[in-house]
């Protein structure tokens, strides 16, 4: 179970997340994190938060945000708000670590998604494999309200691969709470 002050690392992508305010701290309204992206780091791919707004406040460095078909470079002091259902991808385009505050509203199970996804991706490394696809697809099946891959064909692929991942024995490592309807 995540705790305030806990750091989760994704060594495969170069991301670090420090939990500042968790679901249970905010009655489910908000997950607040302090995030950093190593030079060249990016989230694993374009993705959507179907039921959440994500807000980035860049503190240091610069981040490129692809949102839908648009691209924007954000520097210290800039705030980027990603509405629910908007495909996006943050990445560090600078030569120094980029640092930002990230907020997810509502919190849902995003903290356990980070714990599970970062743990799995760090253990698997930067190269994709068939086993990794099955494991990640099975993981995504537990986090549909929080996280989906974009574009739609990738989301469909993970929906098809998830039962195969479950048959192969893959399960989230950290417990997933029931999502509010």
pLDDT digits (tens, 9 = 90+) for 37-72: 999 998 878 999 999 999 999 999 999 999 988 999
How do the domains of the chain map onto residue ranges?
Answer: 7-105, 110-167
123 vs 60: CA distance, rounded Å: 28
Q: Where are the beta strands (DSSP E) in the chain?
A: 7-10, 15-21, 31-37, 47-48, 53-60, 62-67, 70-75, 79-82, 88-92, 98-105, 148-149
As a whole number, mean pLDDT of residues 144-168 equals 91
The pLDDT value recorded for residue 70 is 92
Q: What is the sign of the dihedral through the CA atoms of 154, 157, 162 and 164? A: negative
177 vs 145: CA distance, rounded Å: 12
Sheet holding 98-105, edge to edge: 7-10, 15-21, 31-37, 98-105, 53-60, 79-82
For residue 111 the two structure tokens come to: 């903290």
70 vs 122: CA distance, rounded Å: 29
The whole-model pTM stands at 0.90
For residue 152 the two structure tokens come to: 């739609």
Question: Could you tell me if 97 and 64 are in contact, meaning their C-beta atoms sit under 8 angstroms apart?
Answer: no
Question: Could you tell me if 37 and 77 are in contact, meaning their C-beta atoms sit under 8 angstroms apart?
Answer: no
In which band, very low, low, confident or very high, does the pLDDT at 101 lie, cut at 50, 70 and 90? very high
Domain 7-105 class? mainly beta
Question: Could you tell me if 49 and 143 are in contact, meaning their C-beta atoms sit under 8 angstroms apart?
Answer: no
For residue 124 the two structure tokens come to: 């698997």
Render pLDDT for 84-98 as a digit per residue (tens, 0 to 9). 999 999 999 999 999
In which band, very low, low, confident or very high, does the pLDDT at 127 lie, cut at 50, 70 and 90? low
């Amino acid at each position: 179970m995540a705790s305030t002050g806990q750091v989760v690392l994704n060594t495969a992508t170069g991301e670090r997340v420090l939990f500042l305010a968790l679901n249970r701290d905010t009655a489910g309204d908000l997950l607040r994190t302090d995030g950093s992206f190593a030079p060249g780091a990016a989230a694993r791919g374009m993705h959507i938060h179907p039921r959440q707004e994500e807000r980035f406040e860049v503190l240091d460095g610069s981040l490129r945000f692809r949102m839908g078909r648009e691209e924007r470079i954000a520097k210290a002091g800039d705030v980027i708000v990603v509405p629910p259902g908007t495909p996006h991808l943050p990445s560090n385009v600078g030569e120094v670590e980029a640092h930002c505050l990230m907020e997810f509203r509502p919190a849902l199970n995003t903290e356990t998604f980070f714990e599970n996804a970062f743990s799995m991706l760090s253990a698997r490394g930067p190269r994709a494999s068939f086993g990794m696809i099955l494991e990640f697809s099975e993981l995504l099946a537990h986090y549909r309200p929080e996280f989906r891959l974009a574009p739609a064909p990738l989301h469909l692929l993970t929906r098809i691969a998830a039962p195969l991942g479950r048959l192969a024995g893959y399960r989230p490592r950290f417990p997933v709470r029931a999502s509010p309807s």
